[in-house]
Amino acid sequence: MSMVALNKNWITENQIDFEYKKYVLLAYLQHVSENFTENRLYPYLSDLVDHYRNLKALKDNKQHLYNMFPERLRTVDLEKFRLIYDKMVQDDSIMQEIESILDFSIPQMENYLREGKKIYDFIEDHLKVFPVGVMPLHNESGYLFLKEISSPEMRVYEFHISIFENPIEKYRGINLTYLKSYEMSILNTFEAIKLDLIRFNKNLPNPATFVIETNLAIPFDETFLPLAKRTLVKRIAGAA
């Protein structure tokens, strides 16, 4: 199912009219809800979070509103653009319409965010993560095994964790590279597959290796994979 996009500047583009914007928003939220019903969380949940944060910033910060007005007017005449721009932002009727749109949109998005978060938490509770074999001292690189319990197939990824720092906190990002799939069997165990990977890649002689399993039938690309990435980052951050 292709994603119904909501542009970043959807409130200020085209006509600023409450009924029209209500129609645009509800069409987008219906699409998001349909995907949530099918347990497809990404990119729908992260996109919804971004839009919600933009609306909250718009509500709290007038400068953010300035930045949302159409950029194309800049190419006409910079001085005229400044005049039009200021007039639009200072126009009480326009600002009142935007205020009405925000007052309607923010609670609507909060409802769907709660729906998405509930699904996210339920699925996260049904992800089981555990190491394979002896773990190395440094676990920022290695292999991730993704397995649905109902399927004999297991997908193998190589992962690398990167750490980004600012004066306040550290951020961890993860890069995954798909390697291959294995059919699990009595002989093809997690440990045997890890040994096979070590023979295949001499650059990782003692790789950190994790399995993430689920007993749920969930979409792989839109849900299992992105939640597994977040789960692995949290697991490694907790062990650091």
Report pLDDT digits (tens) over 152-162.
Answer: 999 999 999 98
Mean pLDDT across the chain:
86
pLDDT at 75: 46
pLDDT bin (cut points 50, 70, 90) of residue 143 is very high
68-77, 126-135, 182-191, 194-203: the lowest-pLDDT one = 68-77
Minimal CA–CA distance to 45: which of 109, 122, 124?
109
Enclosing domain of residue 117: 18-125
- Are 75 and 147 in the same domain? no
Distance CA 79, CA 186 (A): 74
Residue 55 located in a structural domain = yes
Residues in the chain: 240
- Are 34 and 135 in the same domain? no
How many domains does the structure of the chain reveal?
2
- Which residue among 125, 152, 180 closes a domain? 125
- Which residue among 92, 125, 158 closes a domain? 125
Residue 165 located in a structural domain = yes
- Are 184 and 131 in the same domain? yes
Average pLDDT of span 102-118: 96
Do 58 and 102 contact (CB within 8 A), yes or no? yes
- Are 54 and 112 in the same domain? yes
Average pLDDT of span 167-192: 87
Do 157 and 236 contact (CB within 8 A), yes or no? no
Distance CA 191, CA 224 (A): 22
Query: Is the bond into 43 cis (omega within 30 degrees of 0)?
Result: yes
CA distances from 7 to 24, 48, 80, 132, 197 (A): 10, 11, 25, 44, 43
- Which residue among 63, 95, 125 closes a domain? 125
pLDDT at 128: 97
- Are 235 and 134 in the same domain? yes
- Are 83 and 64 in the same domain? yes
Q: Is 40 a residue whose pLDDT tops 90?
A: yes
